[in-house]
Structure 1
């Protein structure tokens, strides 16, 4: 009978969800690399997508967006700083060393994320216009669908 209770407790612990946005697992550490996609500059969109996915899987993506720094001296502030510092480490660990040296040091994960986005997500306006023009000029000109 006690084996069943113990088994149930173990299953509950595995399926139990954290209700705090400051939860880190025992396996989380600052030296972890949470995605294999390394930011090189020209691959910002790929890197950002991989990072968002990894951070959502860890249920801490909100720290790069909507969870704001608290100003009171509560334990929540200490938890916020712990998760924020972990995020800054993870973000920096996925950036190519040459590029990392050019990134402004930011202590706040959201500010770091926004700085990287502002610098590296710039679209190529002339190329976009060229592609739009080529699409407009794309015509079948009497060819069959198979030949076109």
Structure 2
């Protein structure tokens, strides 16, 4: 039995407006964006930042510096995620990560959550579970080669 194919490096697995592809996460993000951000941040930072700390910081920024603080904090993690998987800026190259988080942080957070989940790093389970999931039997994380396609 072969392992499931990971999404292609350098290509988003879902679009920015695909929020309803994961309705439960869409709902959670609309009600509490701090929770989705916190879960994503823990995975993107490979456990160096806990979900609790990331969520607390995001909530503080939303409260103290409503738009600008959360936008800058959110776009920082979107940029880290994009660099990790060599993803292009989306929806277009001229739209920076901060612009996307500023226009619709909900869509951005949902897309980032789906991307991690589609790459077998489900943010709901936290970093430890994601790490165990992505580790191959030989102890090396399976990094998809460019050109691998999802079937």
Given the two structures, how large is their TM-score scaled by the length of structure 2?
0.30
The structure with the larger Rg is 1
Q: Highest relative contact order (Cα 8 Å, sep 6+), 1 or 2?
A: 2
- Provide the TM-score with structure 1 as the length reference: 0.30
